[in-house]
Amino acid sequence: MDAKNTKAFGTVASDAPLKEIHIQRREVTPKDIEIEILYCGVCHSDLHTARNDWGGSVYPVVPGHEIVGKVTKVGSGVTKLKVGDLAAVGCLVDSCRECDSCQHDLEQYCLNGFTGTYNSPDKHLHLQTYGGYSEKVVVDEHFVLKVPANLNLAAVAPLLCAGITTWSPLRHWNVGKDSKVAVVGLGGLGHMAIKLAKGLGAEVTLFSRTPEKTQDAKELGADTVVISTDAEQMKSVKGKFDLIIDTVPYIHDINPYISTLNINGTHVLVGYLGDLNPMLNSVPMIMGRKSVAGSVIGGIAETQEMLDFCGKHNIVSEIEIIKMQDINTAYERMLKSDVRYRFVIDMASLKK
Ligand SMILES: [Zn+2]
Ligand SMILES: [Zn+2]
Protein backbone atom coordinates (compact mmCIF):
# COMPACT_ATOMS: atom_id res chain seq x y z
CA MET A 1 0.00 0.00 0.00
CA ASP A 2 1.20 3.47 -0.80
CA ALA A 3 2.19 5.09 2.50
CA LYS A 4 1.35 8.49 1.06
CA ASN A 5 -2.36 7.76 1.18
CA THR A 6 -3.80 11.27 1.34
CA LYS A 7 -4.08 14.08 -1.17
CA ALA A 8 -3.14 17.48 0.28
CA PHE A 9 -2.04 20.99 -0.60
CA GLY A 10 1.30 22.07 0.77
CA THR A 11 4.59 23.69 0.11
CA VAL A 12 8.05 22.14 -0.18
CA ALA A 13 10.12 25.27 0.49
CA SER A 14 9.65 28.69 2.07
CA ASP A 15 9.68 30.45 -1.31
CA ALA A 16 7.58 27.90 -3.19
CA PRO A 17 3.84 28.28 -3.83
CA LEU A 18 1.45 25.74 -2.38
CA LYS A 19 0.59 22.88 -4.71
CA GLU A 20 -0.94 19.43 -4.66
CA ILE A 21 1.18 16.87 -2.79
CA HIS A 22 0.60 13.52 -1.11
CA ILE A 23 1.06 12.86 2.58
CA GLN A 24 0.70 9.92 4.94
CA ARG A 25 -2.14 9.66 7.45
CA ARG A 26 -2.03 6.88 10.06
CA GLU A 27 -4.61 4.11 10.33
CA VAL A 28 -6.97 4.77 13.25
CA THR A 29 -5.72 3.48 16.61
CA PRO A 30 -8.35 2.49 19.26
CA LYS A 31 -8.70 6.13 20.41
CA ASP A 32 -8.58 7.79 16.98
CA ILE A 33 -11.20 9.41 14.80
CA GLU A 34 -10.75 9.77 11.03
CA ILE A 35 -12.42 12.84 9.57
CA GLU A 36 -13.17 13.63 5.94
CA ILE A 37 -12.41 17.35 5.77
CA LEU A 38 -15.21 19.40 4.21
CA TYR A 39 -14.02 22.94 4.98
CA CYS A 40 -10.81 24.44 6.29
CA GLY A 41 -10.34 28.06 7.36
CA VAL A 42 -7.26 30.03 6.36
CA CYS A 43 -5.38 31.57 9.29
CA HIS A 44 -2.42 34.00 9.20
CA SER A 45 -0.37 31.31 10.95
CA ASP A 46 -0.84 29.11 7.87
CA LEU A 47 0.88 31.67 5.68
CA HIS A 48 3.64 32.38 8.21
CA THR A 49 4.40 28.68 8.62
CA ALA A 50 4.32 27.97 4.87
CA ARG A 51 6.83 30.80 4.34
CA ASN A 52 8.91 30.02 7.45
CA ASP A 53 8.42 33.57 8.75
CA TRP A 54 8.86 32.40 12.35
CA GLY A 55 11.64 29.88 11.63
CA GLY A 56 11.26 26.19 12.44
CA SER A 57 9.13 25.15 9.47
CA VAL A 58 9.86 21.60 8.37
CA TYR A 59 8.94 20.83 4.76
CA PRO A 60 6.68 19.79 3.30
CA VAL A 61 4.31 22.07 5.22
CA VAL A 62 0.58 21.37 4.97
CA PRO A 63 -1.19 24.21 6.82
CA GLY A 64 -4.75 24.42 8.11
CA HIS A 65 -6.03 24.34 11.70
CA GLU A 66 -9.64 25.40 11.31
CA ILE A 67 -11.01 22.03 10.28
CA VAL A 68 -14.60 20.83 9.99
CA GLY A 69 -15.82 17.63 8.42
CA LYS A 70 -17.54 14.31 8.84
CA VAL A 71 -16.41 11.25 10.77
CA THR A 72 -15.52 8.40 8.40
CA LYS A 73 -13.89 5.92 10.78
CA VAL A 74 -13.53 5.48 14.54
CA GLY A 75 -11.21 3.30 16.64
CA SER A 76 -12.64 0.51 18.80
CA GLY A 77 -12.37 2.59 22.00
CA VAL A 78 -13.88 5.83 20.71
CA THR A 79 -16.96 7.06 22.60
CA LYS A 80 -17.19 10.75 21.68
CA LEU A 81 -18.42 10.48 18.10
CA LYS A 82 -19.59 7.92 15.57
CA VAL A 83 -19.29 7.51 11.80
CA GLY A 84 -21.36 10.15 10.01
CA ASP A 85 -21.22 12.74 12.80
CA LEU A 86 -19.95 16.27 12.19
CA ALA A 87 -16.56 16.90 13.77
CA ALA A 88 -14.02 19.68 14.10
CA VAL A 89 -10.32 20.00 14.86
CA GLY A 90 -8.57 23.19 15.86
CA CYS A 91 -4.95 24.11 16.53
CA LEU A 92 -4.08 21.18 18.82
CA VAL A 93 -4.00 17.45 18.08
CA ASP A 94 -2.13 16.23 21.15
CA SER A 95 -0.42 17.20 24.41
CA CYS A 96 1.28 15.30 27.27
CA ARG A 97 -2.06 14.90 29.18
CA GLU A 98 -0.12 14.63 32.44
CA CYS A 99 1.26 18.03 33.37
CA ASP A 100 -0.57 20.49 35.59
CA SER A 101 -1.88 22.47 32.59
CA CYS A 102 -3.20 19.36 30.83
CA GLN A 103 -4.81 18.14 34.05
CA HIS A 104 -6.68 21.44 34.23
CA ASP A 105 -8.03 21.46 30.65
CA LEU A 106 -5.37 23.94 29.56
CA GLU A 107 -3.75 21.80 26.88
CA GLN A 108 -2.75 24.97 25.00
CA TYR A 109 -0.35 25.70 27.87
CA CYS A 110 0.98 22.11 28.14
CA LEU A 111 4.23 22.41 30.08
CA ASN A 112 5.80 19.85 27.77
CA GLY A 113 4.60 21.63 24.63
CA PHE A 114 1.39 20.79 22.77
CA THR A 115 1.35 19.06 19.41
CA GLY A 116 0.17 21.56 16.82
CA THR A 117 -2.17 20.44 14.06
CA TYR A 118 0.61 21.14 11.58
CA ASN A 119 4.39 21.48 11.68
CA SER A 120 4.76 19.70 15.02
CA PRO A 121 6.61 16.41 15.62
CA ASP A 122 4.10 13.58 15.10
CA LYS A 123 4.35 10.96 17.87
CA HIS A 124 2.65 8.30 15.72
CA LEU A 125 4.43 8.39 12.38
CA HIS A 126 7.58 10.20 13.50
CA LEU A 127 7.02 12.72 10.73
CA GLN A 128 5.64 16.24 11.05
CA THR A 129 1.95 16.78 11.63
CA TYR A 130 0.04 17.92 8.56
CA GLY A 131 -2.93 20.28 8.71
CA GLY A 132 -6.34 20.61 7.19
CA TYR A 133 -5.49 21.48 3.59
CA SER A 134 -6.05 17.78 2.89
CA GLU A 135 -8.71 15.16 2.22
CA LYS A 136 -8.74 13.70 5.71
CA VAL A 137 -7.15 13.81 9.12
CA VAL A 138 -6.75 11.26 11.92
CA VAL A 139 -6.89 12.67 15.45
CA ASP A 140 -7.17 11.29 18.99
CA GLU A 141 -10.77 11.71 20.12
CA HIS A 142 -9.76 13.91 23.06
CA PHE A 143 -8.78 16.62 20.57
CA VAL A 144 -11.85 16.29 18.33
CA LEU A 145 -14.76 18.69 18.86
CA LYS A 146 -18.48 18.26 18.32
CA VAL A 147 -20.16 20.71 15.93
CA PRO A 148 -23.64 22.15 16.56
CA ALA A 149 -25.83 20.99 13.66
CA ASN A 150 -27.74 24.27 13.24
CA LEU A 151 -24.78 26.36 12.06
CA ASN A 152 -23.43 26.97 8.53
CA LEU A 153 -20.63 24.41 8.49
CA ALA A 154 -18.21 26.41 6.34
CA ALA A 155 -18.61 29.43 8.62
CA VAL A 156 -17.95 27.29 11.70
CA ALA A 157 -14.38 26.52 10.56
CA PRO A 158 -12.81 29.85 11.66
CA LEU A 159 -14.26 29.40 15.15
CA LEU A 160 -11.60 26.73 15.70
CA CYS A 161 -8.79 29.30 15.78
CA ALA A 162 -10.09 32.86 15.42
CA GLY A 163 -13.11 32.05 17.59
CA ILE A 164 -11.39 30.29 20.46
CA THR A 165 -8.48 32.75 20.50
CA THR A 166 -10.88 35.54 21.40
CA TRP A 167 -13.33 33.43 23.45
CA SER A 168 -10.70 32.24 25.91
CA PRO A 169 -9.72 35.71 27.19
CA LEU A 170 -13.39 36.80 27.27
CA ARG A 171 -14.11 33.86 29.58
CA HIS A 172 -10.92 34.08 31.61
CA TRP A 173 -11.62 37.73 32.45
CA ASN A 174 -15.28 36.92 33.20
CA VAL A 175 -16.90 39.09 30.57
CA GLY A 176 -20.66 39.33 30.96
CA LYS A 177 -23.59 41.73 30.84
CA ASP A 178 -21.98 44.49 32.88
CA SER A 179 -18.64 44.38 31.07
CA LYS A 180 -17.17 47.01 28.82
CA VAL A 181 -14.95 45.39 26.22
CA ALA A 182 -12.84 46.99 23.51
CA VAL A 183 -11.35 45.23 20.50
CA VAL A 184 -8.25 46.51 18.71
CA GLY A 185 -8.15 45.64 15.02
CA LEU A 186 -10.93 44.37 12.78
CA GLY A 187 -9.70 41.25 10.98
CA GLY A 188 -10.32 37.52 11.39
CA LEU A 189 -9.76 37.67 15.15
CA GLY A 190 -11.27 41.10 15.73
CA HIS A 191 -14.57 40.37 14.06
CA MET A 192 -14.98 37.23 16.17
CA ALA A 193 -14.07 39.14 19.33
CA ILE A 194 -16.90 41.60 18.61
CA LYS A 195 -19.46 38.88 17.94
CA LEU A 196 -18.52 36.77 20.97
CA ALA A 197 -18.27 39.69 23.41
CA LYS A 198 -21.65 40.90 22.18
CA GLY A 199 -23.04 37.38 22.56
CA LEU A 200 -21.91 37.41 26.19
CA GLY A 201 -23.86 40.62 26.70
CA ALA A 202 -20.99 43.11 26.95
CA GLU A 203 -20.91 46.67 25.68
CA VAL A 204 -18.42 46.50 22.81
CA THR A 205 -16.18 49.17 21.30
CA LEU A 206 -13.88 48.79 18.31
CA PHE A 207 -10.61 50.69 18.20
CA SER A 208 -9.69 51.30 14.59
CA ARG A 209 -7.26 53.55 12.76
CA THR A 210 -9.63 54.00 9.84
CA PRO A 211 -13.20 55.40 9.86
CA GLU A 212 -14.01 53.11 6.90
CA LYS A 213 -14.40 50.18 9.29
CA THR A 214 -17.15 51.87 11.29
CA GLN A 215 -20.15 50.53 9.42
CA ASP A 216 -18.83 46.98 9.26
CA ALA A 217 -18.03 47.03 12.97
CA LYS A 218 -21.54 48.17 13.83
CA GLU A 219 -23.09 45.52 11.60
CA LEU A 220 -21.01 42.92 13.44
CA GLY A 221 -22.41 44.16 16.74
CA ALA A 222 -20.04 46.87 18.00
CA ASP A 223 -21.83 49.61 19.95
CA THR A 224 -19.16 52.24 19.33
CA VAL A 225 -16.13 52.78 17.11
CA VAL A 226 -13.25 54.89 18.42
CA ILE A 227 -10.64 56.12 15.95
CA SER A 228 -7.43 55.41 17.81
CA THR A 229 -5.42 58.11 16.01
CA ASP A 230 -7.90 60.81 17.13
CA ALA A 231 -6.73 62.18 20.49
CA GLU A 232 -10.13 63.64 21.35
CA GLN A 233 -11.91 60.36 20.73
CA MET A 234 -9.31 58.48 22.78
CA LYS A 235 -9.82 60.92 25.66
CA SER A 236 -13.55 60.32 25.57
CA VAL A 237 -13.02 56.66 26.58
CA LYS A 238 -10.40 57.26 29.29
CA GLY A 239 -10.77 54.77 32.15
CA LYS A 240 -13.66 52.96 30.49
CA PHE A 241 -12.78 49.38 29.63
CA ASP A 242 -12.61 46.24 31.75
CA LEU A 243 -10.94 44.26 28.99
CA ILE A 244 -9.22 45.19 25.74
CA ILE A 245 -8.63 42.37 23.27
CA ASP A 246 -5.75 43.40 21.04
CA THR A 247 -5.75 41.41 17.81
CA VAL A 248 -3.18 43.48 15.89
CA PRO A 249 -0.67 41.00 14.40
CA TYR A 250 2.35 43.30 14.06
CA ILE A 251 4.46 45.52 16.32
CA HIS A 252 2.48 48.50 17.62
CA ASP A 253 2.27 51.00 20.47
CA ILE A 254 -0.08 49.79 23.19
CA ASN A 255 0.53 52.69 25.60
CA PRO A 256 -2.40 54.80 24.33
CA TYR A 257 -4.82 51.95 25.11
CA ILE A 258 -3.72 51.52 28.74
CA SER A 259 -5.23 54.88 29.70
CA THR A 260 -8.60 53.68 28.38
CA LEU A 261 -8.64 50.78 30.88
CA ASN A 262 -10.69 51.02 34.03
CA ILE A 263 -9.11 50.25 37.43
CA ASN A 264 -8.20 46.51 37.40
CA GLY A 265 -8.61 46.50 33.64
CA THR A 266 -6.58 44.21 31.38
CA HIS A 267 -5.14 44.71 27.92
CA VAL A 268 -4.66 41.22 26.47
CA LEU A 269 -2.50 40.58 23.41
CA VAL A 270 -3.70 37.71 21.20
CA GLY A 271 -2.33 38.62 17.78
CA TYR A 272 1.27 39.70 18.16
CA LEU A 273 4.32 37.79 19.40
CA GLY A 274 7.46 39.79 20.10
CA ASP A 275 8.93 42.89 21.69
CA LEU A 276 6.73 45.92 22.22
CA ASN A 277 7.91 49.18 20.74
CA PRO A 278 7.69 51.84 22.08
CA MET A 279 8.27 50.21 25.46
CA LEU A 280 5.43 49.83 27.89
CA ASN A 281 5.24 52.67 30.43
CA SER A 282 4.44 51.25 33.87
CA VAL A 283 3.07 54.49 35.36
CA PRO A 284 -0.56 54.19 34.21
CA MET A 285 -0.49 50.49 35.07
CA ILE A 286 0.75 51.09 38.61
CA MET A 287 -1.52 54.07 39.17
CA GLY A 288 -4.59 52.09 38.16
CA ARG A 289 -3.75 48.46 39.02
CA LYS A 290 -3.96 47.67 35.31
CA SER A 291 -2.53 44.60 33.59
CA VAL A 292 -1.05 43.77 30.24
CA ALA A 293 -1.47 40.08 29.45
CA GLY A 294 -1.25 37.53 26.67
CA SER A 295 -3.38 34.55 25.70
CA VAL A 296 -3.12 31.78 23.11
CA ILE A 297 -6.06 29.82 21.61
CA GLY A 298 -7.89 27.75 24.26
CA GLY A 299 -8.15 24.28 25.78
CA ILE A 300 -10.29 21.51 24.34
CA ALA A 301 -13.10 21.79 26.92
CA GLU A 302 -13.18 25.55 26.45
CA THR A 303 -13.27 25.16 22.66
CA GLN A 304 -16.27 22.86 22.99
CA GLU A 305 -17.90 25.39 25.32
CA MET A 306 -17.36 28.09 22.67
CA LEU A 307 -18.83 25.93 19.87
CA ASP A 308 -21.88 25.11 22.00
CA PHE A 309 -22.30 28.80 22.85
CA CYS A 310 -22.11 29.69 19.15
CA GLY A 311 -24.71 27.02 18.37
CA LYS A 312 -27.05 28.43 20.99
CA HIS A 313 -26.56 32.07 19.95
CA ASN A 314 -26.25 31.44 16.20
CA ILE A 315 -22.77 32.90 15.95
CA VAL A 316 -20.46 32.04 13.05
CA SER A 317 -17.62 33.73 11.21
CA GLU A 318 -18.03 36.03 8.20
CA ILE A 319 -16.38 34.11 5.38
CA GLU A 320 -15.39 34.06 1.73
CA ILE A 321 -15.29 30.56 0.29
CA ILE A 322 -12.40 29.71 -2.02
CA LYS A 323 -11.18 26.69 -3.96
CA MET A 324 -8.05 24.90 -2.76
CA GLN A 325 -6.32 25.84 -6.00
CA ASP A 326 -6.78 29.55 -5.20
CA ILE A 327 -4.86 29.45 -1.93
CA ASN A 328 -1.76 31.29 -3.19
CA THR A 329 -3.89 34.22 -4.37
CA ALA A 330 -5.76 34.15 -1.07
CA TYR A 331 -2.46 34.48 0.83
CA GLU A 332 -1.54 37.56 -1.21
CA ARG A 333 -4.94 39.07 -0.50
CA MET A 334 -4.60 38.30 3.22
CA LEU A 335 -1.31 40.19 3.34
CA LYS A 336 -3.23 43.23 2.09
CA SER A 337 -6.09 42.62 4.59
CA ASP A 338 -8.32 42.13 1.56
CA VAL A 339 -10.72 39.62 3.14
CA ARG A 340 -13.97 39.98 5.05
CA TYR A 341 -13.18 38.33 7.35
CA ARG A 342 -11.87 34.86 6.81
CA PHE A 343 -11.15 32.69 3.79
CA VAL A 344 -12.53 29.17 4.05
CA ILE A 345 -11.49 26.47 1.60
CA ASP A 346 -14.20 24.25 0.16
CA MET A 347 -12.26 21.00 0.33
CA ALA A 348 -14.43 19.36 -2.35
CA SER A 349 -12.25 21.37 -4.77
CA LEU A 350 -9.20 19.27 -3.80
CA LYS A 351 -10.92 16.13 -5.10
CA LYS A 352 -11.08 17.55 -8.64
ZN1 LIG B 1 -4.78 30.06 13.52
ZN1 LIG C 1 0.84 18.72 29.31
Question: What CATH number does residue 93 fall under?
Answer: 3.90.180.10
The answer on 154 and 10 residing in a single domain is yes
**What is the domain-level CATH number for residue 251?**
3.40.50.720
292 and 261 Cβ atoms separated by less than 8 Å: no
How close is the Cα of 129 to the center of ligand 2, in Å? 18
Nearest ligand to residue 67 Cα: 1
How close is the Cα of 40 to the center of ligand 1, in Å? 11
Q: Is residue 256 part of a domain?
A: yes
Domain extent, residue 268, equals 162-294
For position 215, what pLDDT does the model report?
A: 95
Q: Is residue 304 part of a domain?
A: no
For position 3, what pLDDT does the model report?
A: 85
Nearest ligand to residue 65 Cα: 1
The answer on 188 and 137 residing in a single domain is no
The answer on 8 and 51 residing in a single domain is yes
Q: Which of these, 95, 249, 82, lies nearest to 162 by C-alpha position? A: 249
For position 126, what pLDDT does the model report?
A: 87
Residues of the chain with pLDDT under 50: none
The answer on 331 and 189 residing in a single domain is no
How close is the Cα of 93 to the center of ligand 2, in Å? 12
For position 256, what pLDDT does the model report?
A: 96
* 59: CB partners within 8 A, 6+ apart: 11, 12, 13, 14
For position 210, what pLDDT does the model report?
A: 87
The answer on 208 and 147 residing in a single domain is no
Which one-letter DSSP state was computed for residue 119? S
The answer on 149 and 106 residing in a single domain is yes
The answer on 324 and 190 residing in a single domain is no
Which value, in Å, is the radius of gyration of the alpha carbons in the chain?
A: 20
* pLDDT tens by residue, 310-331: 999 999 999 999 999 999 999 9
